[in-house]
Amino acid sequence: MAAPRSFSAAEVRARCAEGACLVRCRRRLYDLSGFVRLHPGGEQLLRRRAGTDVSAALDGPPHRHSANARRWLEQYYVGEMEPGEEQIQPETVDEQGVDAAAQTPARMDPRCKTVDVEKDLVDWQKPLLWQVGYLGEKYDEWVHQPVDRPIRLFHSDFLESLSKTAWYVVIVVWVPVVLYLSWVSYTSLAQGNTRLFSSFTTEYSIPVHKYFFPFIFLMGMFLWSLLEYLIHRFVFHMKPPASNYYLITLHFLLHGQHHKSPFDSSRLVFPPVPASLVIGFFYGVLQLLLPEVLGLSVFVGGLCGYVIYDMMHYYLHYGSPKKGTYLYGLKAYHVKHHFEHQKSGFGISTRFWDRPFRTLIPEETFEKED
């Protein structure tokens, strides 16, 4: 293996002045330029630490980074600081603990374990879907050690293309459907023929006026938020039996791939072809439970909730919300779910259902605002 490249303090300062974001842990140097916009604490938090030793910040307080976060950091390793120059800091930075950390010999943090594509449990040069089922009892730990690299699922280019979706495809495909079905629902209710409980009794059935449509629509969105939580927790986060190749493969196809590569931009929203099958199933269920027009009205509200959920999910990974806003907190919450609390924090578009189901990520685990 080639010896790591050495960097002088002057070179690091020059690259940071050009816009790069290089940080170090003791003498190990990392280039986070491609990650700053994705950082759950915000881009500026990393920018302020460019050129400094972040060892103390990783250990906290206020926020102690998880083993997955440290492992993630190792993917951006670029070399070592030259001996004797690792203590040089920009004048504007006052980091406690930097001097002590700088005296430690250059070595990898023992809590880190990089992904070696040559020695990993799977062959990254081949599609992963048909390999993960053989991991058995090692699958759960492996899939929750995130990496910053794209994933290929299928040998077939056609099937692979169907498994990837750009974020705007959700808008192009589903927003026209929401608008059309909303118009159909409203005009159908305007005819005045829709009544609740009419299948049981005509004497005590309740008419549903067209002006009820917005409330029924919002009820559909509310029901979707519950369904979103339940699917994420009990389907996407099921723990497949170690001996069942097919359930492990199914889990990886549904959600495991996203936890393995959480910033793969082509796998952050649900592809429209399989989404159509799932959406069609829930439409059929609502048509069985509710009068036709009423079921359609609830359905279109739920479909709108799904579109918002998909867009929100993409934004929580790639957006840059303003510090102190609701979306800023939600982004930190969701990324915390990926890197540290995989068994809690299942709410994506809202944290509401994490409270009654007692899966809320504790507030004290988040980094305090500067």
Q: What is the pLDDT of residues 236-283, one digit of tens each?
A: 999 999 999 999 999 999 999 999 999 899 999 999 999 999 999 999
247: burial class by Cβ within 10 Å (0-12, 13-18, 19+)? middle
Compute CA distances 44 → 21, 247, 316, 321, whole Å. Answer: 10, 42, 17, 12
238 compared with 291, residue with greater pLDDT: 238
Is-contact 135 121, C-beta < 8 A? yes
What CATH architecture is 6-81? Roll (3.10)
Q: Enumerate residues 6+ apart whose C-beta is below 8 A from 103.
A: none
Q: Enumerate residues 6+ apart whose C-beta is below 8 A from 11.
A: none
pLDDT at 8 > cutoff 70: yes
Is-contact 313 259, C-beta < 8 A? no
pLDDT at 38 > cutoff 80: no
- Cα angle value 298/304/306 (rounded, 5°): 105
Q: 48 falls in which pLDDT band (50, 70, 90)?
A: confident
Which stretch of 122-126, 220-224, 302-306 has the lowest confidence by average pLDDT?
A: 122-126
The residue whose two tokens read 């969105």 is 221
Percent over 70 (pLDDT), the chain: 81
pLDDT at 203 > cutoff 60: no
Rounded Cα distance between 38 and 158, Å, is: 30
Among residues 360, 129, 354, 362, which one has the least CA distance to residue 257?
Answer: 129
Q: What's the whole-number mean pLDDT along residues 222-228?
A: 96
pLDDT at 44 > cutoff 80: no
**CA end-to-end distance (rounded Å), the chain:** 41
Across the chain, mean pLDDT equals 82
Residue 33: what pLDDT? 84
What is the pTM for the complete model shown?
A: 0.77
Residue 2: what pLDDT? 61
pLDDT at 94 > cutoff 50: no
Q: 303 falls in which pLDDT band (50, 70, 90)?
A: very high
Strands 22-25 and 28-31: antiparallel
102 compared with 296, residue with greater pLDDT: 296
DSSP code for 243: T
pLDDT at 87 > cutoff 60: no
Among residues 190, 205, 178, 183, which one has the least CA distance to residue 291?
Answer: 205
Is 341 a known ligand-binding residue?
no
The CATH 3.10.120.10 portion of the chain extends over 6-81
92 compared with 2, residue with greater pLDDT: 2
Q: What's the whole-number mean pLDDT along residues 331-348?
A: 89
Residue 9: what pLDDT? 83
Is 337 a known ligand-binding residue?
yes
Residue 86: what pLDDT? 57
Is 251 a known ligand-binding residue?
no
Residue 318: what pLDDT? 87
Q: What's the whole-number mean pLDDT along residues 102-127?
A: 59
- Cα angle value 263/267/272 (rounded, 5°): 155
Is 63 a known ligand-binding residue?
no
Residue 191: what pLDDT? 84
The SS3 of residue 210 is helix
The pLDDT tens digits for 145-192 are 888 888 999 999 999 999 999 999 999 999 999 999 999 999 988 887
Rounded Cα distance between 360 and 215, Å, is: 28
Rounded Cα distance between 288 and 64, Å, is: 50
